[in-house]
Amino acid sequence: MQERPNPLKASLAAGRPSLGLWCSLASALSTEIMAGAGAGWLLIDGEHSPNDLRSTMAQLQAAAAFPCEAAVRLPSDSAVLIKQFMDAGARSLMIPNVRTAEQAREIVAAMSYAPAGIRGFSTGHRANQFGRIKDYHRSARANQLLAVQIECATGVANAAEIAAVEGVDVLFVGPGDLSTNMDAMGNPGADHVQDAIARVLQAARGAGKAAGILAPVKADADRYLRDGFTMVAVGADLGLLARGSDNLIASFSL
């Protein structure tokens, strides 16, 4: 058995944009519904959603029936969490709040087996189909993707060095945290935040890497895509359900 090639990594490496959907409901059922929408990737959120290893694995299992790539955002850059979640089958990772190139190098090392890194070795887990992918430990890196989130002024200032780190595939802007950390909470459209976002894009492209962002407002997503962002999340299960139900009820005037 061979590991399925990573379609998101292939798209981004070819410079092709890929639309994503954010999965925040910590439910295999809702993630399965999102996986059928036709997006190029999903983001199973383990930072701001009540996900743990088991709930994340259940969502990876649900999404595995679909062609989209299921990426997982961990709550931190913990090497222990990287090991556990990768063994459970998370091969496309998003790591929040990456601020320096050294931090990025440590994340890559945590994703890599020796001699390149420190990922703990196990012969059988979900990632290698329980021992059925015979060359997994030697070939795994080829199908892994690392999106590091740039979410503060320090990360923006270091974006070029971070993008240059071997093993970093995407600089992914977290507009909520970035605007908050730049004294513009709730306003990622502020001029100085937009300037910072443009600098992240420039840093990524300068290093031949992809840039990504979460843009649940279509006009923003369209603009970011035009600007050259290629890993663009355009909606979230939570928002679609909450706003959709709000608007449905509000549409009746009894």
Ligand X SMILES: O=C(O)C(=O)C[C@H](O)[C@@H](O)CO
Is residue 12 within 8 Å of residue 231, measured between CB atoms?
yes
Task: Specify burial of residue 84 (Cβ count, 10 A radius: 0-12, 13-18, 19+).
Answer: middle
CB of 206 to ligand X, least distance (A): 23
- Chain-centre distance of CA 45, in angstroms? 8
In angstroms, what CA-CA distances link 3 with 12, 169, 205? 19, 19, 29
How many whole angstroms separate alpha carbon 69 and alpha carbon 66? 8
By C-beta, is 127 or 204 nearer to ligand X?
204
Select which of 48, 125, 137, 192 is catalytic.
Answer: 48
CB of 229 to ligand X, least distance (A): 14
How many whole angstroms separate alpha carbon 108 and alpha carbon 77? 10
Residue 192 is among the residues annotated as catalytic for this protein:
no
By C-beta, is 23 or 127 nearer to ligand X?
23
| Binding footprint of ligand X on the chain (CB under 6 A) | 45, 48, 149, 151, 174-177, 214
How many whole angstroms separate alpha carbon 48 and alpha carbon 71? 15
By C-beta, is 127 or 178 nearer to ligand X?
178
CA dihedral angle for residue 127, residue 34, residue 14, residue 227, rounded to 10 degrees: -140
| Sign of CA pseudo-dihedral 65, 81, 151, 51 | positive
Beta bridge partners of 21: 42
CB of 32 to ligand X, least distance (A): 20
By C-beta, is 120 or 176 nearer to ligand X?
176
CB of 45 to ligand X, least distance (A): 6
Residues that are catalytic: 48
